[in-house]
Chains A and B, each alone.
Chain A
Amino acid sequence: MHSILQDLTIEPSAEQERILVPFIQCTKDVFSMMLGWPVETVAVISDRQGAQRHDCSGILGFSGALRGSIVVSLDQEVALAATEAFLGERQDSLTAEVIDTVGELTNMIGGSSKDRLGVSGVAIGLPTIISGRNHCVSFDPRAQVEMIRFQTPHGPFTIEIAIVGLDAIPQ
């Protein structure tokens, strides 16, 4: 098992590991480098589509050799703290700056993870943001969905990865 998964209580399959390792590594890198936050991986949950409720979610689609999406979801307080770390300015609600911050975090996590999957010919779109208390995001029922729950000094957040066509990822 890859060392980055060792703190988890699950025994990931080889297929899960191929997805989880790049996304966890890139998520940690983005939060560490852009926000200065240490991030701990708390849990990985498979195939719990639509079960999570959040305040602000960034969605980034993949197309080409791999199809699917990544959703980065934060509660309002974490999103506000991330925006403050990004810009040095405190926001009181889900303002345009907060929405933009969540979009950029999603873009960086999805974009850099895509390159670490080792699949050529994968394109990313532009991030879409959903805000609204207790919303949930559903995925293509054909997709394998992995949800990773992280903890930061300012609260928890999750990323959900939904991929159709896992065969394209090299072993």
Chain B
Amino acid sequence: MKVLVADDSGVMRKIISRSLNAVGVTDIVEATDGQDAIQKFIDDTFDMILTDWNMPNKSGLELVTEIRALGSSVPIIMITTEAQKSQVIAAIQAGVNDYLTKPFEAEDLRAKLDKFVVVP
């Protein structure tokens, strides 16, 4: 299983990658913003995407919209501080499969990953 992690914060990418490792995922590609993420998505094949919302160059919402416009149904989890109901609805309408608000406990992220991670 190959996972794309998009976040402009290096520490968040490490925390998310560590959680992925804990559920058996080791094939992880990191993107430092939405533009970097869409380029890596086009150049490669992923089984799941974890993305922040507020990123430079291209937001997580724009990233999700572009991925869905490309016809992909890859599972996408948005991990963000944006927690207002209107924003959650906007993310879901754009094509997000699940949503986790920061701050979160390690178990919260683990529970989200368990829903989508398939490790042979």
Interface residues of A (CB under 8 A from B): 29-30, 33-34, 83, 86-87, 96-97, 100-101, 103-104, 107-108, 110-112, 114-115, 120, 124-126
Contact = CB atoms under 8 A, between A and B. Distances in A.
A107 B82 contact: no
Contacts of B56: 126
A124 B84 CA distance: 13
Chain A at the B interface: mostly helix, strand, loop or mixed? helix
Given A108-B103, A111-B54, A126-B55, 7 more contacts: A96-B10, A104-B9, A104-B11, A111-B83, A112-B103, A115-B82, A120-B86
A112 B83 contact: yes
B86 A108 contact: no
A76 to B, nearest CB: 17
Contacts of A126: 8, 54-56
Contacts of B15: 86-87
B116 interface: no
Contact of B84 (A97, A101, A115): A115
